[in-house]
Amino acid sequence: MTTDLELYKIFVTVAQAGSFSAGAKELFLTQPAVSQAVQKLEQQLGARLFVRGRKGVTLTQEGQMLFQHALSALQLLDAGEEKLRRVQTLKDGQLRLGAADTITKEFLLPYLSAFRQLHPGIQLKVTNRTSRQLTELLKQGQLDIAIVNLPILDERLIVQPILEVHDIFVAGHLFAELEGQFLTLRELAGYPLVMLEREANSRRYVDDWFAEQGVRLAPEIELGAHELLPSFAAIGFGLACVVQEFCQKELAEGVVFPLHLVPPVPARSIGACWVRDLPLSSAAGELMRLLHSERN
């Protein structure tokens, strides 16, 4: 379309008002300016749009046809602008969030509840996958933001740490002799171990750190859910690697006890990531605000 959209707005307003003077008043323009705009539109289209009379103007046949299309187009634009305003002010829209199961359950749920109470008009879609699977969904454009286990090293993503966590090993009563004792990494590796599957980013982090210390971990049991780890440790299947912050209930109840490693596994973080070349949506930005404000 080569014609200035403003000309169509003036044309539609004049047609609805029935005269150049009434149209000018609605548009807060002078009557000559409105008349010139209509003439310019007629020249560009090569068609006469109005029949001028002493009591105002009426649409020609060509003008009537154009008016219906122009009115619909302007109404669609107005609706689009209103939709955009509602999305920008968090009254409408969608948030496509990705997060691992454990992170969702143990960390995110209170923030998602607060988000829903503050912005009930936002449709929340949550996808649960491993951290590495979520980063792929981000890059495919299927998610707006993902909360994942760090580290994530990918130049296409912006990564922002949110929560520091600690990977520890716990044991149940069948290993009571280990309570209060200090274990070297090599000594730990000699016991039966229960860990997450290798696809889990947190598992990779622990494996890689032990390997840097010259120790290889070979767990007898690999599980897909973090919440099962302390349960397996409690009934004596082995020493389980858990996130300390997500195992507080079992530790407090004495179902399992923490082991003292020398040296301990370094702390890591849970963080948010999104595609570098795409600005955060208003809804995703609001979730980040909640995550930071609640923790500061």
pLDDT per position as a tens digit, 14-52: 999 999 999 999 999 999 999 999 999 999 999 999 998
| Farthest-apart Cα atoms in the chain, separation | 105
Percent of the chain with pLDDT over 90: 81
Residue 91's pLDDT band (cuts 50, 70, 90): confident
State in words which class domain 167-266 has: alpha beta
**Crossing angle between the packed helical segments 20-27 and 5-17, to the nearest 10 degrees:** 120
Residues 8 and 27: their CA atoms lie apart, in Å, by 12
Every domain of the chain and the residues it spans:
5-88, 94-164+269-295, 167-266
pTM assigned to the model: 0.73
CATH superfamily to which 94-164+269-295 belongs? Periplasmic binding protein-like II (3.40.190.10)
pLDDT per position as a tens digit, 265-295: 999 999 999 999 988 888 999 999 999 875 5
What is the reported pLDDT for 37? 92
Domains 94-164+269-295 and 167-266 share a fold: yes
Residues 38 and 33: their CA atoms lie apart, in Å, by 9
- Looking at 2.40.50.140, 3.40.50.10860, 3.40.309.10, 1.10.10.10, the CATH number of the domain 5-88 comes to 1.10.10.10
Token reading at 246? 């997500």
Mean pLDDT of 241-253: 96
Please check whether residue 133 is in contact with residue 152, taking contact to mean a CB–CB distance below 8 angstroms: no
Percent of the chain with pLDDT over 70: 97
